Structure 1
């Protein structure tokens, strides 16, 4: 079995206005409790997993903002992983970072400590747009972080960008794409903003304080990203992700191919040995379970085959290649074309999916309507 490892760091300097992920304000005391507990969880899995299940395809440290922890603490997490799991040569090791929380010293230490991929949450290159999002960095700091990462020896960089932000114009978006590509990252993730209920940004829009981006402008921005980035030798390999050839995210591909992954840390999710489970989302509950020698799992769900098939379909359709139909058959012993005959026929007639080279994939028309396509498979078998 191949296994992706995700480590959740639930702290931020300040929570962004659009974020609904589990995160807490960073304090030294809370971070100490978290790290002690995280080390226990890593050791527990190192002790209970069979050796062949501890071979990692990737490690991804996300959040939150992992780099709000002192860099020495982050490196101690990786050391603990190295002692309890098997990392093959060249294993992709990613750390997410906010440009306002890294500098030359911390980046140099991360690279020396084995991190070989850095994912920077840039989001935009206009300070007024960053203020709308509630980011803690400026456009100049983002560009400086990229340069510092190169000086530190990072040869695999991802930049996250967001479109569809209230007040953002088509010209702003094009400028962000232009400045991002000028920095030469190997990977760019271009996400449409999701106004999650209850977040400060959603409340500002709902109350009329901010004008939301129109659907037409958001669609224009998405198509602009595709045209601009593919025209500059980035491969559009997933709905929102673009990479230089060979620089696709190993960790995220593992998710989209519905393979096994282990999540550790508060609120982390896992799909392991035919079961999906999630950790307690509070630091107190998470630490309390581990202090008693118990894994901090708050919810479990056995992977029912029909659910697993549906997930394999809609996750695979996120990839530009689509779902490999022969691989689906080998995994489940049944053909997707038979199980989902009605759904596939309807979606093909609507021009949203197509069969090509042994794959079922979204068409150009279907790409911006991906969520509508995915619902057909989810509703069919959930």
Structure 2
């Protein structure tokens, strides 16, 4: 399909950032582009024209036992049981209102996948996790035992009683944030844990028998070298996890590391790139395959989504819409609107937003308040970002079926910039369909490539956002 020679000529191609670590694009657009809607639309109106047999359910639990030095997620530490209990009460009220909205047009509602994220969902007690699963099944109608279902956990909260609840209810994937098996590196990342505690948690996870175990590791920590990073890699490999995620360390405003991290930017970038390549090559040599910059899967191992939908129309819909989010900080995606609650990083603001959520009346749950309106241009960008940053790449036929055009025609400057750097290579996917793929070095720069495709509207909204 495409080479750099076939790209239309443009007066000026966008500049690729000098740093490979501009921004992790896990969803588009970022919540910093969302704005408050004074008279937000009713959820029933938002969902009445959506496909309801291909939904995914996401529940955000905004609690952790500690806050890592690099964390800029929406989460509160040390919440007492009266707060977590009140949160589950508010969550149930929100779920009932949301389910009513989904049922407005009378079509069957079916969830094809589910995830509990945060925060740390296993901060909840075993009894609270049972209540949460009951809520998802009985109120939302999600059959947790029949769908791929992922849960995030931590070494301190992966206790036997909590894991027993999740295993009995059918969780198919547990992801544990280890970050480093080297105690000194964990301390440097302001993550007070010991390797013995991590190993004990991993033993409990394996004993519980979840089909997919994922271990998160971080590179770029102060003092980390290829040798020390390999200690963590080998410690993770010893558990034969189905997945290993390698994350570059980011230091963001209002996080624990932001006031103490004064590394030279160029040298830090060199360290992170060096460690990334070392980690990538080490995992590839040990029977893992890379699916994105961050994700490595053991060859031949099962995947949490292996029994998920194979219908292409369902897959294409899930790439554009169909996410139903519950809980403060959770996002929901419809074709025309992405919406959520208020968002913050600073501890006082997070607590205020959680308190506001607990006090939200049912009528307020019926409307989308913090939102971003999607148009055809934004949907094009979202699909490019979802697929181009994966190893398998962006199939031109899928894009054309969805939008009636070519990605090269729609984004000549962006793809031209990638071709200029040698980071873009055309290839063939299943059935010989043309695919645009990043080269291995392009994948290494994925966090700089993603922001190239942000629209001017999103960039302006993010730039105007005040960190808090």
Give the structure-2-normalised TM-score: 0.75
The 5 Å alignment of 1:312-323 reads 312-323=383-394
Alignment match of 2:438 (pick from 329, 351, 362) = 362
Hey, what does 1:378 align to over in structure 2? 454
Give SS of 1:140's match. helix
SS at match of 1:214: helix
Offset, 1:309: 0.6
Q: In the aligned structure 2, how far is the partner of 1:329 from the partner of 1:20?
A: 37
- Confirm whether residue 77 of structure 1 aligns to residue 109 of structure 2: no
Residue 211 of structure 1: CA displacement?
A: 10
Correspondence for 1:14 = 66
* Residues 251-294 of structure 1: per-residue CA shift (max 9 Å, x gap): 9x999944431221111112124211111341222223244453
Give structure 2 stretches of 5+ with no counterpart: 1-50, 309-314, 344-352, 429-433, 459-468
Gaps of 5+ in 1: none
Contact 1:280–1:296 (Cα < 8 Å) also in 2: no
Residue-by-residue CA offset, 1:224-266 (whole Å, 9 max, x unaligned): 1211112222221111001134645549x99994443122111
Q: 1:197 aligns to what SS in structure 2?
A: coil
TM-aligned CA deviation for residue 349 of structure 1: 2.8
Tell me if the contact between 2:399 and 2:407 (Cα under 8 Å) persists in the aligned partners: yes
Partners of 2:318 and 2:177 in 1: CA distance: 21
User: Closer, same or farther in 2 for the Cα pair 1:118/1:314, shift >3 Å?
Assistant: same
- Relative to 1, partners in 2 of residues 1:318 and 1:232: Cα closer, same or farther, differing over 3 Å? same
> Which 4+ residue blocks in structure 1 deviate beyond 6 angstroms?
210-213, 253-256
Q: Deviations over 1:208-232 (max 9, x none)?
A: 7x99972222111111121111222
Matched residue, 1:190: 246
Which protein, 1 or 2, shows the higher relative CO under an 8 Å CA cutoff with sep ≥ 6?
2
- In structure 1, the partner of 2:55 is 3
User: 1:105 Cα shift?
Assistant: 2.6
* Contact 2:129 2:165 survives alignment (8 Å): no
Q: How does 1:1-382 map to 2 (within 5 A)?
A: 1=51, 2-25=54-77, 26-50=79-103, 54-83=109-138, 84-87=140-143, 90-206=146-262, 214-244=268-298, 245=300, 247-248=302-303, 250=305, 257-281=319-343, 282-292=353-363, 294-295=365-366, 297-357=368-428, 358-379=434-455
CA contact (8 A) 2:284 2:290 kept: yes
- Paired with 1:265 and 1:324, the residues of 2 have a C-alpha distance of 34
Looking at structure 2, the residues matched to 273 and 339 of structure 1 have their Cα atoms a distance apart, in angstroms, of 20
C-alpha RMSD of the superposition:
2.5
Deviation for aligned residue 1:53: 6.9
Task: Measure, in 1, the Cα distance between the counterparts of 2:361 and 2:301.
Answer: 39
Q: Do 2:111 and 2:143's aligned partners in 1 also have CA atoms closer than 8 Å?
A: yes
Distance 2:365 2:224 in 1: 47
Counterparts of 1:170 and 1:296, CA distance in 2: 50
- CA shift for structure 1 position 90: 3.9
SS in 2 for 1:16: coil
- 1:118 Cα deviation after fit: 0.8
Task: Check 1:95–1:296 CA distance in 2 against 1; reply closer, same or farther (3 A cut).
Answer: farther
What is the rounded CA distance, in whole Å, between the counterparts of 1:194 and 1:54 in structure 2?
A: 39
TM-score normalised per structure 1: 0.91
Taking structure 1 as reference, are residues 175 and 296 closer, same or farther at Cα in structure 2, changes over 3 Å only?
farther
Compared CA separation, residues 254 and 186, structure 1 to 2 (3 A)? farther
- Distance in 2 between residues matched to 1:355 and 1:380, nearest whole Å: 27
Give the number of the structure whose residues are more often strand, by fraction: 1
Distance 1:300 1:211, change over 3 A: closer
Deviation larger for 362-371 or 79-88: 79-88
Q: Figure out how many residues of one structure are paired with residues of the other and give that number.
A: 379
Mapped contact 1:289–1:295 kept (Cα < 8 A): no
Contact 1:325 1:360 in 2 (8 A): yes
Cα distance between partner residues in 1 of 2:108 and 2:416: 39
Rounded Cα–Cα distance in structure 2 between residues aligned with 1:34 and 1:141: 29
Give the conservation status (yes or no) of the 8 Å contact 2:97–2:362: no
**Structure 1 residue matching 2:197: 3-state secondary structure:** helix
